[in-house]
């Protein structure tokens, strides 16, 4: 909001400066009129007819009221009001455009976040269903993929027995089976 306040302050200062400029121009016009009458070498009659009298100039010149008074500013009120209305309308239009732009940016940002979230959800669901891409790697043994695993479990386990006789012990019997047959 500081930008808006500074713009508003600038427009107020600008309006005050233009009003001051108008007032100084009025003063200079009135002073130049009085100087023209003084410096002109022609003798002017002391009495003027009603058509020759400029009542507005006289009332402005000899008005004792302050120039900031409302009755004096009523002469220029139509110009300044139209300028002020135009300026206010322009400020309001700028503010409206600014608000529209902010809302559009917020809507675009929200849509981008939603699309990003949906993309993230899709990729997470795909990763969860694919064991190769899953983040939670299942620890497997090195022999889990072996084709002939666990076949020795079905065979009965042969227990070794201790026999003190060298001819009847298990080693001698396996030797005879293997080499003598």
Say if pTM beats, i.e. exceeds, 0.85: no
Please state, in angstroms and rounded to a whole number, the distance separating the CA atoms of residues 42 and 39: 9
Is the confidence at residue 112, as pLDDT, over 90?
yes
The predicted pLDDT at position 45 comes to 56
Q: What pLDDT score was predicted for residue 159? A: 77
At 11 the pLDDT is 87
pLDDT digits (tens, 9 = 90+) for 14-53: 999 999 998 888 777 766 655 555 555 555 555 666 666 6
Contact 134, 43 (CB under 8 A): no
* Structure-token match 């009603």, residue found: 50
Query: For 70-91, how does the pLDDT look when each residue is reduced to its tens digit (9 = 90+)?
Result: 554 455 555 666 777 888 889 9
Mean pLDDT of the chain: 76
Cα–Cα distance, 63 to 74 (Å, whole number): 14
- pLDDT mean over 103-123: 93
pLDDT number for residue 106: 95
Q: Tokens representing 163? A: 């026999």
| 181 band by pLDDT with thresholds 50, 70 and 90 | confident
Backbone angles phi and psi of 29, in degrees to 5: -65, -45
Q: From the centroid of its chain, how far is CA 95?
A: 15
CA distance 65 to 70: 10
Instruction: Report pLDDT for 79.
Output: 61
Q: Tell me, what's the pLDDT at 96?
A: 93
Q: What is the DSSP letter of 166?
A: T
Residue 1 has a pLDDT of: 46
162: how many CB neighbours lie within 10 A of its CB?
6
Contacts of 143 (CB under 8 A, 6+ apart): 149
Q: In this predicted model, what pLDDT tens digit does every residue of 92-110 receive, in sequence order?
A: 999 999 999 999 999 999 9
Backbone angles phi, psi at 179, to 5 degrees: -105, -15
Which residues make Cβ contacts (< 8 Å) with residue 132, sequence separation at least 6? none
Asked if 163 contacts 169 with a C-beta cutoff of 8 angstroms, the reply is: yes
- The predicted-structure confidence for 3-14, as pLDDT tens digits, reads as follows 556 788 888 889
């Amino acid at each position: 909001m500081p930008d808006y306040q500074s713009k508003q302050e600038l427009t107020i200062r600008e309006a005050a400066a233009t009003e001051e400029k108008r007032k100084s121009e009025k003063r200079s016009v009135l002073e130049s009129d009085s100087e023209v009458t003084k410096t002109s070498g022609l003798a002017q009659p002391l009495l003027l007819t009603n058509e020759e009298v400029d009542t507005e100039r006289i009332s402005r010149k000899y008005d004792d009221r302050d120039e900031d008074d409302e009755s004096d500013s009523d002469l220029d009120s139509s110009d300044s009001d139209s300028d002020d209305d135009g300026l206010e309308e322009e400020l309001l239009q700028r503010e409206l455009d600014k608000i529209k732009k902010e809302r559009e940016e917020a809507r675009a940002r929200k849509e981008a976040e939603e699309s990003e979230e949906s993309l993230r959800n899709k990729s997470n669901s795909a990763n969860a269903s694919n064991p190769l891409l899953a983040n939670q790697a299942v620890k497997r043994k090195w022999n889990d993929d072996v084709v002939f695993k666990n076949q020795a479990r079905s065979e009965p386990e042969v227990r070794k027995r201790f026999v003190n006789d060298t001819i009847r012990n298990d080693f001698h019997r396996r030797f005879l089976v293997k080499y003598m047959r």
